Amino acid sequence: MQDIAIFGAGGFGREILTLIQDVNRVSPVWNVVGFFDDGYPKGEIINGFETLGTCEDLNAWEKPLAITLAIGTPHIKKNILSRITNPRVSFPTLIHPSVLIGDRDFVEIGKGCIICAANIITTNIEIGNFVILNLACTTGHDTVIKDYAAFMPTCNISGEVVIEEGVYCGTGVKIINRTSIGANTIVGAGAVVAKPLPPNCTAVGVPAKPIKFREA
């Protein structure tokens, strides 16, 4: 069994713990050593596992350790990742045993991703690194999802969609086929993306329209 720790001891971190336990029920792969989190004191017990400290403590860890980043917000996840400098740390992709992948020969998934229970991913799909597909999302044919993108529960990504780096889609977002979402754009819960969305904005509604822009 390989040692693994969850970075992020909040609610999503506890959900990822259950994902790992479900993986282990099918085939024992992971030995959970605990949680890291910059915001929790060392030595607390969360759902039976210890908090092991901050990013600094992780950088001082002396044995090989797999880390899963249970952090939903792309730019926060990217920032934490840039501070992890320990060469003993690796970033596996975790896929819940219930996930349905249509054709594994034509679905590429990078490192450090989290694919939660009840996802369906069909075929000819590229998923980059550190992508999160939270519970019960669907991803259709010929879609590209770039690094750090995060989809909250029950998003539906139709076919031939391009999701650029760092996109965040709230719960229940629906993305119509052949559309795209620009880098670092946030799409509010329940939105329907019917036309391509530009980068660095927040878009909400049906159809989704930008309501705010940020500096790149």
Ligand X SMILES: CC(C)(COP(=O)(O)OP(=O)(O)OC[C@H]1O[C@@H](n2cnc3c(N)ncnc32)[C@H](O)[C@@H]1OP(=O)(O)O)[C@@H](O)C(=O)NCCC(=O)NCCS
Residues in touch with ligand X (CB under 6 A):
134, 152-153, 170-171, 186, 188-190, 202, 204-205, 211-212
Looking at beta carbons only, is 122 or 139 nearer to ligand X? 139
Looking at beta carbons only, is 29 or 192 nearer to ligand X? 192
Q: Minimum CB separation from ligand X for residue 15, in Å?
A: 9
If one counts every other C-beta atom within 10 angstroms of the C-beta of residue 50, the result is 16
Looking at beta carbons only, is 52 or 94 nearer to ligand X? 94
Q: Minimum CB separation from ligand X for residue 72, in Å?
A: 6
Looking at beta carbons only, is 24 or 171 nearer to ligand X? 171
Contact 197, 185 (CB under 8 A): yes
Q: Minimum CB separation from ligand X for residue 194, in Å?
A: 14
Q: Minimum CB separation from ligand X for residue 70, in Å?
A: 11
Among 178, 180, 172, 177, CA closest to 145:
180
The torsion defined by the Cα of 32, 33, 35 and 40, in degrees rounded to 10, comes to 150
Among 92, 111, 129, 107, CA closest to 119:
107
Please list, in sequence order, all residues whose beta carbon lies within 8 angstroms of the beta carbon of residue 136, skipping any fewer than 6 positions away.
116, 117, 118, 119, 153, 154
